[in-house]
């Protein structure tokens, strides 16, 4: 059991991610193409949700495939993510989660929904910037001093605008945990189905690794919640250890890594 007197950061987990040779950039497009880029722009999230969602914000099984296709088409333009408000991101993520959790929806649509659900939380947000910062640290420090000082590591990966702000940091952690839920479904689906077409699975795997790593950290009984972890990050009470139960069950993540050509990242641990 990890004591709340100090929050332990899973350095071992982050070092393992180094093997993945991150190539994420903030401007990378998950879905290729720019259908709306030189026009007026794609339909916004509110318009799409107004067209396909029920009054309670859910998506019916009958509309699920059309809704996912419409979001995916709009998301071909970077303007779609730039125009998303924080509230629309949360509503859209919830609607897409309805789709990938609906047993009546075709697997291909559920997979596409899971990738999109994570993207609306990551693309153009502090959560996405945090992922990019993790990539920068892992590729530039190569296991250097920052990994021996988790407080310094936190200072490097938390976006400047969120530093010292427990509410902003909690929001980052909450978004990454929700993204991890979407990636968990995607990884589970890969037990029986091929990866979704048109998706850069190497990039998706890299994002999934960070999101799932954060979720594992938050779920540790010595931490308890995103709010607790955010408060400890602000207080600087983050210390380093190897979590005894890591990597634990990483089957879903391993499936995503394999689909992205990164199989065996956790092998031999």
Buried b (16+ CB within 10 A) or exposed e, 8-39: bbbbebbebbbebebebeeeebbbeeeebeee
3-class state of residue 241 by DSSP: strand
Q: Are 208 and 25 in contact, with CB atoms under 8 Å apart?
A: no
Q: Are residues 53 and 132 in the same domain?
A: no
pLDDT of residue 168: 97
pLDDT of residue 161: 94
pLDDT of residue 190: 97
Q: Are residues 22 and 131 in the same domain?
A: yes
Q: Are residues 154 and 223 in the same domain?
A: yes
Q: Are residues 50 and 161 in the same domain?
A: no
Q: Are residues 167 and 264 in the same domain?
A: yes
Q: Are residues 2 and 111 in the same domain?
A: no
Q: Are residues 222 and 258 in the same domain?
A: yes
pLDDT of residue 155: 77
Identify the DSSP state of 10: E
Q: Could you list the pLDDT tens digit for every one of the 269 residues in the chain?
A: 334 444 444 545 544 444 443 433 333 443 334 444 445 678 989 999 999 999 998 999 999 999 999 999 999 998 999 989 999 999 999 999 999 999 999 999 999 999 999 999 999 999 999 999 888 877 775 445 555 566 677 778 899 999 999 999 999 999 999 999 999 999 999 999 999 999 999 999 989 988 988 888 888 777 778 998 898 889 888 655 434 444 556 789 999 999 999 876 655 43
Domain boundary pick from 99, 123, 147? 123
Q: Are residues 252 and 200 in the same domain?
A: yes
Q: Are 9 and 150 in contact, with CB atoms under 8 Å apart?
A: yes
Question: What is the rounded CA–CA span in Å between residue 254 and residue 261?
Answer: 10
3-class state of residue 44 by DSSP: coil
Q: Are residues 2 and 94 in the same domain?
A: no
For the four alpha carbons of 133, 137, 138 and 143, in that order, the dihedral sign comes to negative
What residues make up the domain containing 93? 31-123
Spatial CB neighbours of 154, under 8 Å, sequence gap ≥ 6: 9, 233, 238
pTM assigned to the model: 0.82
Q: Are residues 143 and 267 in the same domain?
A: yes
Residue 103 in tokens: 């047993």
Spatial CB neighbours of 104, under 8 Å, sequence gap ≥ 6: 61, 64
Number of domains in the chain: 2
Residue 38 in tokens: 């030189």
Domain boundary pick from 77, 96, 123? 123
Q: Are residues 168 and 202 in the same domain?
A: yes
Residue 24's nearest CA partner among 186, 183, 138, 195 is 138
């Amino acid at each position: 059991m990890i004591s709340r007197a100090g929050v332990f950061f899973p350095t071992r987990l982050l070092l393992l991610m180094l093997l993945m040779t991150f190539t994420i950039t903030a401007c990378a497009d998950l879905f290729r193409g720019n259908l709306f880029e030189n026009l007026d722009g794609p339909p916004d999230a509110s318009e799409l949700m107004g067209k396909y969602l029920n009054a309670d914000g859910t998506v019916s099984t009958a509309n699920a495939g059309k809704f996912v296709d419409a979001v995916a088409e709009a998301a071909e333009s970077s303007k779609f993510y730039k125009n998303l408000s924080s509230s629309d991101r949360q509503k859209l993520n919830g609607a897409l989660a309805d789709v990938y959790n609906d047993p009546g929806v075709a697997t291909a649509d559920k997979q596409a929904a899971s990738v999109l659900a994570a993207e609306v939380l990551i693309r153009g947000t502090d959560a996405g910037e945090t992922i990019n910062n993790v990539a920068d640290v892992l590729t530039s420090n190569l296991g250097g001093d920052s990994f021996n000082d988790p407080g310094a590591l936190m200072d490097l990966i938390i976006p400047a605008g969120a530093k010292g702000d427990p509410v902003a940091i909690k929001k980052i952690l909450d978004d990454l945990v929700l993204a991890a839920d979407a990636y968990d479904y995607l990884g589970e689906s890969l037990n029986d189905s091929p990866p979704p077409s048109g998706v850069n699975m190497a990039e998706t795997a890299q994002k999934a690794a960070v999101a799932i790593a954060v979720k594992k950290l938050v779920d540790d009984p010595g931490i308890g919640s995103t709010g607790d972890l955010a408060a400890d990050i602000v207080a600087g009470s983050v210390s380093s250890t190897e979590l005894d139960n890591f990597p634990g069950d990483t089957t879903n993540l391993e499936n995503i890594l394999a689909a992205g050509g990164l199989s065996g990242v956790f092998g031999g641990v």
